[in-house]
Structure 1
Amino acid sequence: MVEDARFEDADDRPLRLRAESAEDMPVIAALVQDAILTMADMAWQPRRHRLAFLVNRFRWEDREAAERAGRPYERVRALLVIDGVLRVASTGIDRSDKDAVLSILDIAWHPAEDGAGRVEITLAGDGAIAATVECLDVTLQDVTRPYAAPSGKAPAHPD
């Protein structure tokens, strides 16, 4: 008898995921929820049509295993890259304050009829970043080894 694969059986390699369809975006959104970064960790490269973020991502995929083992929760540095970007807009953030700490609440895809659309990143404190794109092309890639979350706690969202 063949058993179904379980999430817990996955190996502990760094994540490297790509979203190219609307169905892919909820996975990326779940994994970057509560990621933190500073304004200095954000780069808009208009000639390359790329918007990139170096984030400290909470390892949601490891939360239950950490609790079972009684070990600290973990974070990892990861690159969140949006390609095919035509224009970037933001609201509720001071782009000149490079030390400002931002926290990602959600990332969502809003398609247009022609295949183009908008990738919108919702930030804590009513901030948002919107990237108008030619098509959906978002990559999330861990770039360091996991480290103990400095707070020692999992992010919480009160009702």
Structure 2
Amino acid sequence: MARREPLKLAAQDAEDLAVISAALQDAVAQLGDIQYDRRRRRFTAVFNRFRWEDRGMGQAWRTRSALDFSDVLQVSSKNLKRDAPGAIVSLLAVSFEPGEAPGGHILLAFSGGGELRLEVECIDALLADVSEPWPAKARPSHEGME
């Protein structure tokens, strides 16, 4: 049986962001669930996250998780169909490229070469599970994984 405690993580530096990235690896979302509120300088995305922390417990699980970045100055995209809100994307990694401290760019890399680039004043991120887990139909697999 899966550990049912919801995951809640905060990031204020690149190391913290790497932990969020690991938790979100292979998360999927519809492009319509990814939003940028320029006025509030807030970027949000809701993913169906694979619960890697439950690996080795038998059944594989997914859960809905919300990712939130504050202090976002600008968002740009590459190789994503922003006019197709129902299009599905699979997240590979979240990383930080330093700029003028404490700012820089947060990069969300998706399979197929898509990416979102967030210009931020600083790293201020939250990831929180927002639903009960459900059985995953498949377990993501990568070369070199057990």
Please report the TM-score for the alignment, with normalisation by the length of structure 1: 0.86
Structural mapping, 1:43-54, within 5 Å: 43-54=35-46
**Equivalent in the alignment of 1:154:** 139
Aligned to 1:6: none
1:21 equivalenced with 2:8 (yes/no): no
After superposing on structure 2, the runs of 4+ consecutive aligned residues of structure 1 that deviate more than 3 Å are: none
Q: Does 1:127 align with 2:114?
A: yes
CA deviation after TM superposition for structure 1 residue 25, in Å: 1.4
CA–CA separation in structure 2 for the residues paired with 1:128 and 1:157 = 20
Structure 2 counterpart of 1:89? 76
Matched, 1:142 2:134: no
Secondary structure, counterpart of 2:83 in structure 1: coil
Structure 1: how far apart are the matches of 2:56 and 2:37?
A: 37
Larger Rg: 1
Spell out the pairing of 1:112-123 with structure 2 (5 A cutoff). 112-123=99-110
* Percent pairwise identity: 37
Structure 1: gaps of 5 or more residues: 1-10
Partner of 1:99: 86
Paired letter, 2:42: R
Q: What is the RMSD computed on CA atoms of the aligned residues?
A: 1.2
The whole-number CA distance in structure 2 between the counterparts of 1:113 and 1:53 is 25
In 2: Cα distance, 1:21 partner to 1:102 partner = 25
CA distance in 1, matches of 2:86, 2:4: 32
Using the TM superposition, give the Cα deviation of residue 113 of structure 1 relative to its aligned residue in structure 2, in angstroms.
3.1
Q: What is the TM-score with the length of structure 2 in the denominator?
A: 0.93
Per the TM alignment, residue 82 of structure 1 is displaced from its structure 2 partner at its CA by: 1.1
- Selected match of 1:39 from 31, 38, 45: 31
Give the Cα separation in 1 of the matches to 2:16 and 2:40.
Answer: 23
Quote the Cα distance in structure 1 between the aligned partners of 2:16 and 2:34. Answer: 23
Between Structure 1 and Structure 2, how many residues are aligned?
142
Q: CA deviation at 1:12?
A: 3.8
> Aligned to 1:57, what secondary structure does the other structure show?
strand
Is there any run of 5+ residues in structure 2 with no aligned partner, and where?
none
